[in-house]
């Protein structure tokens, strides 16, 4: 295995994970989301090897594999597919632009914790190859082809939020993204005396990849039923809550709940941005709790560990907001905690979590940082 400090590596890319303040599970329905790139990241080193093969090393997995560029097929090993898929989709856009290369991957992002190590990896590979072979891909092309790679090679029918946040993130700013139009606005991430901390349940969200696609199908089912009466709607998040309520007796309860969640969550994102702009942090935090209740009761993607952590914060006046973050079924909660109580909060949460589940809770302090970049 080559040393990651090897000076032969020509291109070094840092590709961050992301948080999402609010707007969960609405990107694939064309809703509004409020993510940001963070200081935890994947570092990828690339060099041209002048062959027709690629040699990829994951330092985290202590594993490597070889890719034959003449025969790009899905692999049975999940992590290979993130890289294979990106190469495949670059070649769809710009035929024969990827040549043989070596790549080393090293990460301080927890995997499968809802911080989007997957998008960090995809976008890091796309950016690195774009630089190494001077392919001329735009940011939007890298974002879209990374998402496509996750659909076709990995099999998760994700929305566009993760890749967008990872590539377009800006230090100290949140991204208000309209996932229908890709219009976006940078919002200053000013939480006053409150700091963001993630609490990693250390419960893996394995279920999430299958349930994720189920949720996506359920949202489509709701939309198709609504379109029979209102063909003007092309995405579920466009449908107003009032219109969804007309379908309460028509749609199966579960499908109705999914649709109601999506439209409400979409609105919550916009309300949260308004609250932030008005410096109304209490309102902002309240919306985070409402988002969590929706994810638990209507969208049903939470789990007992996440619910416990959110409930734990509910009556603490130094925590203004808390909710599960990411695909769900494990991973992290995101919390806004007063700086004076930060350390004691983490200690108390760890102790309570340990006692309840006999599991370690890992706090992850995050700073909002720039998106995928060449170093």
Residues carrying an active site annotation: 162
Return the structure tokens found at 73: 């097929």
Least distance between ligand ADP and beta carbon 107 (Å): 4
Applying CB under 5 A, the span of 11-19, 115-123, 190-198, 291-299 interacting with Mg ion comes to 115-123
Contacts with 275 (C-beta within 8 Å, 6 or more apart), sequence order: 281, 283, 284, 287
- Kindly state whether residue 322 participates in binding ligand ADP, applying the rule CB under 6 A: no
- Kindly state whether residue 28 participates in binding ligand ADP, applying the rule CB under 6 A: no
Least distance between ligand ADP and beta carbon 42 (Å): 6
- d(CA 98, CA 134) in angstroms, rounded, equals 10
Least distance between ligand ADP and beta carbon 360 (Å): 18
- d(CA 313, CA 241) in angstroms, rounded, equals 29
Task: Indicate the residue among 15 and 116 with the shorter CB distance to Mg ion.
Answer: 116
Total number of residues that touch Mg ion (CB under 5 A): 2
Q: Which of 21, 84, 86, 121 binds ligand ADP (CB under 6 A)?
A: 121
- d(CA 338, CA 256) in angstroms, rounded, equals 37
Task: Indicate the residue among 16 and 326 with the shorter CB distance to ligand ADP.
Answer: 326
Q: Which of 29, 116, 200, 302 binds ligand ADP (CB under 6 A)?
A: 116
Under DSSP, the state recorded for 76 is S
Map the footprint of ligand ADP across residues 72-91, applying CB under 6 A. 78-79, 82
Return the structure tokens found at 54: 């690629």
Map the footprint of ligand ADP across residues 128-167, applying CB under 6 A. none
Least distance between Mg ion and beta carbon 233 (Å): 28
- Kindly state whether residue 42 participates in binding ligand ADP, applying the rule CB under 6 A: yes
Total number of residues that touch ligand ADP (CB under 6 A): 19
15, 369 in Cβ contact below 8 A? no
Q: Which of 53, 60, 64, 362 binds ligand ADP (CB under 6 A)?
A: 60
Least distance between Mg ion and beta carbon 151 (Å): 12
Task: Indicate the residue among 51 and 156 with the shorter CB distance to ligand ADP.
Answer: 156
11, 45 in Cβ contact below 8 A? yes
- Kindly state whether residue 113 participates in binding Mg ion, applying the rule CB under 5 A: no
Q: Which of 15, 29, 118, 302 binds ligand ADP (CB under 6 A)?
A: 118
- Kindly state whether residue 118 participates in binding Mg ion, applying the rule CB under 5 A: yes
15, 349 in Cβ contact below 8 A? no
Least distance between ligand ADP and beta carbon 192 (Å): 29
Under DSSP, the state recorded for 340 is G
Residue entry with tokens 């509910």: 314
Residue 23 binding: pick among Mg ion, ligand ADP, none (C-beta 5-8 Å cut-off by kind): none
- Kindly state whether residue 114 participates in binding ligand ADP, applying the rule CB under 6 A: yes
Residue 347 binding: pick among ligand ADP, Mg ion, none (C-beta 5-8 Å cut-off by kind): none
Applying CB under 6 A, the span of 26-34, 117-125, 130-138, 195-203 interacting with ligand ADP comes to 117-125
- d(CA 228, CA 250) in angstroms, rounded, equals 12
Least distance between ligand ADP and beta carbon 217 (Å): 18
42, 106 in Cβ contact below 8 A? yes
Contacts with 22 (C-beta within 8 Å, 6 or more apart), sequence order: 33, 34, 265, 268, 269, 272, 287, 288, 291, 323
Query: Which runs of E-coded beta strand occur in the chain?
Result: 11-20, 32-33, 35-48, 53-58, 63-68, 101-107, 173-178, 184-188, 194-200, 319-325, 332-338, 362-365, 373-374
CB-based burial, 234-252: b 16+ in 10 Å, e otherwise:
ebbbbbeeeebeebeeebe
> By the criterion CB under 5 A, which residues form the site for Mg ion?
116, 118
> By the criterion CB under 6 A, which residues form the site for ligand ADP?
42, 58, 60-61, 78-79, 82, 105, 107, 111-118, 121, 326
């Amino acid at each position: 295995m080559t040393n990651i400090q090897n000076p032969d590596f020509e291109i070094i890319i840092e590709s961050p994970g992301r948080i999402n303040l609010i707007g969960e599970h609405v990107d694939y329905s064309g809703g509004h989301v409020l993510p940001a790139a963070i200081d935890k990241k994947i570092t990828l080193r690339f060099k041209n090897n002048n062959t027709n093969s690629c040699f990829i090393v994951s330092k985290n997995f202590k594993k490597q594999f070889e890719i034959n560029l003449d025969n790009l097929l899905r692999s049975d090993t999940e992590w290979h597919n993130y890289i294979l898929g990106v190469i495949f989709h670059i070649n769809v856009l710009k035929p024969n632009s990827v040549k043989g290369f070596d790549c080393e991957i090293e990460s301080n992002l927890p995997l499968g914790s809802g911080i989007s190590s997957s998008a960090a990896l995809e976008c890091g590979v796309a950016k690195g190859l774009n630089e190494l072979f001077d392919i001329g891909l735009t940011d939007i092309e890298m974002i879209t082809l990374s998402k496509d790679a996750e659909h076709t090679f990995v099999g998760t029918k994700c929305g566009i939020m993760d890749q967008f946040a990872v590539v377009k993130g800006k230090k100290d700013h949140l991204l208000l993204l309209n996932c229908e139009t890709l219009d976006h606005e940078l919002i200053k991430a000013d939480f006053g005396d409150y700091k963001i901390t993630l609490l990693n349940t250390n419960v893996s969200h394995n279920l999430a990849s299958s349930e994720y696609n189920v949720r996506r199908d359920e949202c489509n089912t709701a939309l198709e039923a609504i379109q029979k009466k209102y063909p003007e709607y092309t995405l579920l998040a466009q449908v107003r809550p009032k219109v969804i309520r007309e379908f309460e007796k028509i749609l199966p309860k579960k499908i109705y709940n999914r649709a109601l969640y999506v439209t409400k969550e979409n609105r919550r994102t916009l309300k949260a941005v308004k609250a932030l702009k008005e410096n109304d942090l209490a309102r902002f935090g309240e919306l985070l709790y409402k988002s969590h209740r929706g994810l638990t009761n209507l969208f049903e993607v939470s789990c007992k560990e996440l619910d416990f952590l959110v409930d734990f914060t509910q009556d603490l006046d130094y925590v203004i907001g808390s909710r599960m973050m990411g695909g769900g079924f494990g991973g992290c909660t995101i919390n806004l905690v007063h700086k004076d109580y930060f350390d004691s909060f983490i200690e108390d949460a760890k102790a309570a979590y340990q006692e309840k589940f006999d599991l370690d809770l890992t706090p992850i302090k995050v700073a909002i940082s720039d998106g995928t970049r060449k170093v």
